[in-house]
Chains A and B, each alone.
Chain A
Amino acid sequence: MFAGFMMNTWAVATIVAPVAGVVGFFVVLRGSAFPAHAIPKGAFAGAAGAALIGISTLLGLAVFSLLGALGIGVLGQRARRDVATALALVMMLALGAAFLSRTTEYEPEIYSLLFGEVLGVSSTELLPVAGLGAACIAAVLFLYRPLMLSSSVPDVAEAKGIRGQHIEICFLIVVALATAMTVPVVGALLIFSLMIGPPAAARSFTSRPVLAMALSVVIALVTVWVAIAASYLYNWPIGFFVGALGAVAYGAGRGWAAWRGTRRAGAASVAMPAVPPTTARA
C-alpha cells in the first residue's frame, strides 16, 4: 500500500483534501452546492476539448472551470441563480458532447476524468496541483472576512460596503481553481462529494466557523485516506468510497445533532421548534 508508485497518490490526496475541506466549508455555508457540482462537471468538457486540440488537460480544465464560474456568476445576477447554474452547466456539457463526438478518445479515459484515477498520478503533476492548492487556500484566507460576512449576514455585509455579487464571483473563481486541480485526481464528480460531505458533517458537530473548518479538513483527509486504502485493498473505484464515506459522515453529523438536540430539550423541558425560523437567503 505504501509502495513507491502509491506515494504520489497519497501526496496528491493529502493536498486535495484540505483544499476541498476549506472551500467546501464556504460552499455549504453559502448554499452553493449546485455551482460546486456544476463547475467540475462542466469543466469536464474542457478536458475533452483539450484532448481534441491536443493541449494539456489541466489547461483545458482550468479554462473551462473559470468560464463556467464566470458564466454562472454573470448569468446569476440577472436570472435565478439555480436556473443560471443549470443552463450554464448544460451548455458546457453540450460543448463537451460535441468535442467528444469529434475525438476518438478512449472510453476509460472519460471514465477516469469523471470518476477519478488516483493510481495514475505522475510526479510531474504534483507541483501544479500543490501550486493551485496553495493559491486556493491563500484566496480563501484573503477573502475570509468579507466571505464570512456576506455568507452569514448578507445585509450587514452590504451595509459595510461589501458587494454580494463581487464576493459571489470571487468565490466561484476559487471553486473553479479548486476544481481544475482536483478533477484529474479525484474526478469531476467526486470532488463534489468531497466538498459537500465533510463540511456538512463538520457543521453539524460545531457552529464555530474556525473549528468547523478545521474539523471539515480532518474529515476530508480521513475520507480520502480511507478511500485510497480501501480502493487499494478491494480494487473497487475510489469514487465509490469517497461518495459513501461522505454520506456516512453527514449521517453521523445529523445523528449527533439530533441526539444533542433531544438531550438539551429534555434537560430544559421546553418544547423547541425543530427548525429555526426561515432567515436564510438563497
Chain B
Amino acid sequence: MHQLYTWVFEPGFFASAPVRTAVVIGGVAAVVSAVVGVFTVLRGQSFAGHALGDVSAAGGSGALLIGVTPLPGFIGLGIIGSGAMELIGIRRVRGRDLATGIVLGAAIGLTALFLYLDTSASATTGATQQILFGSIFTITSSLTIIIAFSVLAVGAIAVIWRPLLLATVSPDIAAARGVPVRLVGLAYMLALAVAVALSSLTVGAILSTALLIGPAATALHLTRRMGRALILACVTGVAATWAGILLAYDSYDWGSSHQGLPVSFFIVAVIFAAFLLTGLPARRAAARPRPASAPAAAPEEACSRAS
C-alpha cells in the first residue's frame, strides 16, 4: 500500500513549495476559466478566448519594456483588445472571427516589436519563452491580487448570468424581451479578457486556452443543463490541473536523464484525453443515419451561428 502511495506521489510532492503554489494558483485559474469557458464554448467564441491570451501577452511584453510588473499590462491590453474586437465585430460569426483575427494580427506585431526591444535593451534571456508559454512553477504576482481579479471575473458572470444565458441561447428572443444583447456581449467579453489575461499570466498562454475550452467542452459533451455543465467543467478543470502537476513532478524520475517534462504538456494531455473520451458516445450517435428532413446542426449550435 505504502509502495503504491510513493509510486503515485513521489516523495516530497506535498512538501515542495513550488508545487503548493502551483496547486493553489492552477486550481484558481482552472475554476475561473471553467466558469467563463462554458459560455465561451456555447457562444462559439473560442477564437476570441485564445486570441485574448496573445493580445494580453503583448501588454505583458510592453510592461516589461517600460519596467512595470506585467499584471497591469496583461489586463490592460486584454481589456482594450476585447473592446476592439467587440467594436469592429459584426453580428455574424464569420465577421466576428475576422474582427478577432485583425486585432490578433496587430497585437502579434506589437509583441514582436516589444520583445525585440526588450531583448535588445536589457538582454532578458528567456523573455520570449516566458511570455509565450509561461510556467505554472514560476508565479511572480501576489496571490491576493490574482484572487481579487478572479473574483471580479466570476462575479461579473454571476451578475449577468440570466441575460447572458438568454442572449447566448437565443439572441432574438433576448432582444425581444428587452435584454441589451450588445451590452451583455460586451460585458461578457470584458470578463473573458480579465479571466484570460489572468490565466495566461499565471499558468501561461497554452494552459490559458486549454483550461478555458477543454473542460467546458468536455462538460457540454456530458450534459445539456447549464448548472450541471458549470460544476462538471470546474471539476474537470481542477482535476486535470492537479493530475498534470502530479505527473510532471513524477516525470522527473521516469527516465534515467532526470529531466522532467513541462507541466503544461501533462495538463493539456489530460484535458485532451478527457475531451476525446467524453466525445465517444456523441460520436456514435452522430454515426447513426439521420432522417433526411432533420436539420444538420444541433439546436444550440444553430444558436451560436445566428448570434
A residues near B, CB below 8 A? 28, 30-31, 33-34, 36-37, 78-80, 82-83, 85-87, 89-91, 93-95, 97-98, 100-102, 107, 110-111, 114-115, 187, 189-190, 192-193, 196-197, 200, 236-237, 239-244, 246-247, 250, 254, 275, 278, 280-282
Chain A residues with CB below 8 A from B95, complex form: 280
Count residues on chain B whose CB falls below 8 Å from chain A CBs.
Answer: 69
* Inter-subunit contact A236/B104 (CB<8 Å): no
Please pick, from B93, B116, B213, the residue contacting A86 in the complex, using a CB distance under 8 A. B213
Given contacts A91-B272, A278-B92, contact A111 B115 (CB under 8 A): yes
* Inter-subunit contact A37/B265 (CB<8 Å): no
9 nearest A-B pairs in the assembled complex, by CB-CB distance: A243-B109, A31-B94, A239-B112, A193-B105, A94-B268, A33-B101, A82-B46, A240-B113, A34-B47
Asked if B33 is at the interface of the complex by the 8 Å CB criterion, the answer is: no
Given contacts A98-B261, A98-B265, A100-B129, contact A34 B97 (CB under 8 A): yes
* Inter-subunit contact A240/B46 (CB<8 Å): no
- SS class of chain A's interface: helix, strand, loop or mixed? helix
Chain B residues with CB below 8 A from A237, complex form: 112-113, 116
**30 residue pairs bridging A and B, Cβ less than 8 Å apart:** A31-B98, A34-B46, A34-B50, A37-B51, A78-B279, A80-B41, A80-B304, A82-B46, A83-B41, A83-B213, A86-B50, A87-B217, A87-B271, A87-B272, A97-B264, A98-B261, A101-B262, A110-B128, A111-B116, A115-B115, A115-B116, A192-B104, A193-B106, A196-B101, A197-B105, A237-B113, A242-B109, A244-B109, A278-B91, A281-B305
Chain A residues with CB below 8 A from B107, complex form: 243
* Inter-subunit contact A190/B112 (CB<8 Å): yes
Distance (Å) between the CB of B94 and the closest chain A CB? 3
Asked if B282 is at the interface of the complex by the 8 Å CB criterion, the answer is: yes
* Inter-subunit contact A247/B102 (CB<8 Å): yes
* Inter-subunit contact A240/B98 (CB<8 Å): no
Chain A residues with CB below 8 A from B116, complex form: 111, 115, 236-237, 240
Given contacts A239-B112, A243-B105, A254-B88, contact A107 B46 (CB under 8 A): no
Given contacts A86-B213, A101-B261, A246-B106, contact A114 B101 (CB under 8 A): no
Chain A residues with CB below 8 A from B45, complex form: 82
Instruction: Report the bound CA distance from A187 to B116 in whole Å.
Output: 14
Given contacts A94-B269, A97-B264, A282-B44, contact A192 B209 (CB under 8 A): no
Asked if B245 is at the interface of the complex by the 8 Å CB criterion, the answer is: no
Instruction: Report the bound CA distance from A101 to B265 in whole Å.
Output: 10
Please pick, from B128, B262, B264, B306, the residue contacting A111 in the complex, using a CB distance under 8 A. B128
* Inter-subunit contact B94/A196 (CB<8 Å): no
Distance (Å) between the CB of A197 and the closest chain B CB? 6
Q: Which residue of B lies closest to A245 (CB)?
A: B109
Chain A residues with CB below 8 A from B90, complex form: 275
Asked if B49 is at the interface of the complex by the 8 Å CB criterion, the answer is: yes
Asked if B286 is at the interface of the complex by the 8 Å CB criterion, the answer is: yes
Chain B residues with CB below 8 A from A236, complex form: 113, 116
Asked if B59 is at the interface of the complex by the 8 Å CB criterion, the answer is: no
Known: A33-B97, A190-B109, A197-B102. 6 other contacts (CB 8 A): A34-B46, A85-B46, A87-B275, A97-B265, A111-B116, A243-B105
